[in-house]
């Protein structure tokens, strides 16, 4: 689909953006990627990097002009601490950024734009996996209230561009579960739970501090699998039709940590669960039947293999430059 096509990756130095660029290059795309403050990780003749502040309309217009497809991978994100302590800090930047990118894409006559939404928009359903049609059935979970409504508003904008105006632009919307893998954010204070635990295990923290009780259950999705789903969606979706993307199975934080300790052979680790630290919804699961039916997508990387790859990458990329006695002994 993308061979020879002009494709913009907004957020080209972020976690998902870096992985998306690699896949697009392998498919022969002519890639342009926006850069804000972080230096690019992918250096390739096939990538044109443009300095861009997506909060500025003029920057968005210049970066998207002449593009045929847009993957909007940029966003102001954080882990539980940010959402718990300063939920409003995400609203303004993300709403403005999303509106600017959509408007600039529309004005540039792009064929399709991929928007990455979030399962935070769903109401609380207990342990029941949520289907796409339930996204607006009541308010989001209280701790996700602000970010959940932000994602809902963005999806409404996508529907407007896709359905509610005379000249239309297809906005493909995916709602991924917790994405993890290579190039993730491993800073303890701002990362999500899985990369934070990877860092603590690889660096042999003692004790390993875990925020919350460890009983929270999530569906974790390896980044390569998400990129697979994104490629399929851009190929096969031609209207506003949000799709959950995930493994279709939940794991508790305790199970994840036990798996990491076994994979990285960290026996006898001391673990401290701290319920005074921020944690989010106890259980968040989604139904993935639509992605299998419409896209033919099924995540192919099980959690153990994904964690093994992530640990290996973290050790190589983050620890190789400094002195370390940590052995490379991943099973």
Q: What is the pLDDT of residue 148?
A: 94
DSSP track, 32-94: EEEESSSPPS---TTEEEEE--TTSHHHHHHHHTT-SEEEE-------HHHHHH-GGGGHHHH
Residue 276 maps to a domain: no
User: Where residue 37 falls among pLDDT bands split at 50, 70, 90?
Assistant: confident
For residue 314, being part of any structural domain is answered with no
Q: Decide if 253 is inside a domain.
A: no
Closest CA to 194 of 215, 210, 176, 174: 210
Three-class SS of residue 31? strand
Domain membership of residue 210 (yes or no) is: no
Which domain range does residue 233 map to?
Answer: 6-181+221-247+285-300
Count of C-beta atoms within a 10 Å radius of residue 123: 15
Mean pLDDT of 18-46: 89
Question: What is the percent of the chain where pLDDT is above 90?
Answer: 81
Q: Report how far Cα 70 is from the mean position of its chain's Cα atoms.
A: 16
pLDDT band for 167, please (50, 70, 90 cuts).
Answer: very high
Domain for residue 306, yes or no? Answer: no
In a domain, 15, yes or no: yes
Name the range with the highest mean pLDDT among 34-43, 153-162, 268-277.
153-162
Please tell me whether the peptide bond between 207 and the residue prior to it is cis, using omega within 30 degrees of 0: yes
Q: How many domains is the chain built from? A: 1
Locate 44 and state its tokens.
């390739």
Please write the tens of the pLDDT for every residue from 112-130. 999 999 999 999 999 999 9
Beta strands 6-10 and 283-284, pairing class: unpaired
pLDDT at 325 exceeding the cut of 80: no
pLDDT at residue number 323? 44
pLDDT at 264 over 50: yes
Residue 159 lies in a domain: yes
Q: Closest Cα partner for 170 from 247, 243, 101, 238?
A: 238
Of residues 63 and 330, which shows the higher confidence score?
63
The model scores a pTM over 0.85 = yes
CATH number at residue 290: 3.40.50.720
14 in helix, strand or coil?
coil
pLDDT at 277 (0 to 100): 73
Percentage of residues in the chain having pLDDT higher than 70: 92
The verdict on residue 289 lying in a domain is yes
């Amino acid at each position: 689909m993308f061979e020879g096509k002009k494709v913009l990756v907004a957020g080209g130095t972020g976690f998902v953006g870096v992985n998306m660029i690699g896949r697009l290059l392998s498919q022969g795309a002519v890639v342009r990627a926006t850069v804000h403050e972080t230096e690019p990780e992918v250096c390739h003749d096939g990538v044109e990097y443009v300095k861009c502040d997506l909060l500025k309309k003029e920057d968005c217009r210049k970066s998207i002009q002449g593009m045929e497809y847009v993957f909007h991978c940029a966003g102001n994100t954080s882990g539980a601490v940010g959402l718990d302590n300063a939920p409003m800090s995400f609203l303004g930047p993300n709403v403005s950024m999303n509106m600017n990118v959509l408007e600039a894409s529309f004005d540039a006559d792009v064929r399709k734009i991929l928007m990455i939404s979030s399962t935070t928009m769903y109401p609380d359903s207990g342990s029941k996996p949520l289907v796409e049609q339930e996204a607006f059935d009541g308010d989001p979970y209280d701790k996700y209230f602000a970010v959940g409504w932000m994602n809902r508003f963005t999806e409404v904008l996508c529907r407007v561009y896709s359905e509610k105006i005379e000249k239309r632009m297809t906005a493909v919307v995916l709602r991924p579960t917790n994405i993890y893998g290579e190039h993730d954010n491993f800073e303890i204070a701002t990362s999500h739970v899985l990369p934070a635990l990877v860092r603590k295990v690889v660096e042999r923290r003692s004790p390993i501090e875990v925020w919350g009780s460890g009983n929270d259950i999530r569906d974790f999705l390896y980044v390569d699998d998400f990129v697979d789903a994104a490629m399929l969606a851009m190929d096969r979706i031609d209207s506003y039709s949000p799709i959950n993307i995930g493994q279709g199975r939940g794991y508790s934080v305790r199970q994840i940590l036990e798996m990491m300790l076994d994979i990285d052979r960290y026996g006898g680790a001391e673990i401290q669960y701290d319920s005074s630290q921020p944690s989010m919804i106890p259980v968040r699961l989604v139904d993935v039947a639509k992605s299998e039916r419409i896209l033919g997508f099924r995540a192919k990387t099980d959690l153990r293999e994904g964690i093994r790859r992530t640990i290996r990458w973290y050790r190589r990329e983050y620890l190789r430059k400094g002195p370390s006695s940590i052995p490379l002994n991943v099973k």
